Chain A
């Protein structure tokens, strides 16, 4: 079977996975440091509120930045620019990815609630929800890559 070259959207999905991993790694690192401290500077709830706010702002900022950087680098290396149109196949794949990510997220939230029931603490809820955001994001991107591979 002839191997197809990676398309624009597939490469962008790989870039997005790398961005997710980097941003979430820094957030999880912060959480580990917080839990290791004997007397944390911040209160528990304010720490997690801050973490989630930081996470979303950081994700948006890094994603936009890397998106522009990716377009420039991709154009220079392959001569391929961003597709001008998004057709029905792209939309179908997008919808499929969102659909699967949605169910992954619901499963994650369900696991977070179960953990609260067993551990009777807030910590695992926040940790699992944060991990769920990461996993569902990665699942969406992987679905996108697999769908484009399958239909090319």
Chain B
């Protein structure tokens, strides 16, 4: 899944998805649920408080998410 496709599914801009991936923006609970819905995964599999498998890894497993970075907020 590309950033653009995820952005369309979550009804946000591609820049917002990029900011979440780069750990520059923490999404609201509503947006977090929308992103989890887009991945068809429970919220706790996509986002988590603290370190661990991150949002980008999930995104990558779905065929998107090109870069790796130190995640703080996302699984």
A residues near B (Cβ < 8 Å) are 7, 83, 85, 87-90, 150-152
Contact = CB atoms under 8 A, between A and B. Distances in A.
Contacts of A89: 12-13, 15-16, 19, 25
Contacts of B24: 150-152
A57 B67 CA distance: 48
A90 B14 CA distance: 12
B21 to A, nearest CB: 11
Given A89-B16, A89-B19, A90-B13, 16 more contacts: A85-B11, A85-B13, A87-B11, A87-B13, A88-B12, A88-B28, A88-B30, A88-B31, A89-B12, A89-B15, A150-B24, A151-B19, A151-B24, A151-B25, A152-B15, A152-B24
B27 interface: yes
A152 B12 CA distance: 14
Contacts, number: 33
A72 to B, nearest CB: 21
The 7 closest A-B pairs by CB, nearest first: A87-B12, A151-B24, A89-B16, A151-B19, A151-B25, A87-B16, A87-B13
A85 B13 CA distance: 7
Nearest to A149: B24
B43 interface: no
Interface string B6-18: 0000011101101
B48 to A, nearest CB: 20
Contacts of A90: 13, 16
Contacts of A88: 12, 16, 27-28, 30-31
Contacts of B12: 85, 87-89
A36 B70 CA distance: 62
A89 B25 CA distance: 8
6 contacts: A85-B12, A87-B11, A88-B12, A89-B16, A152-B18, A152-B22
Nearest to A148: B15
B11 A152 contact: no
A89 B11 CA distance: 12
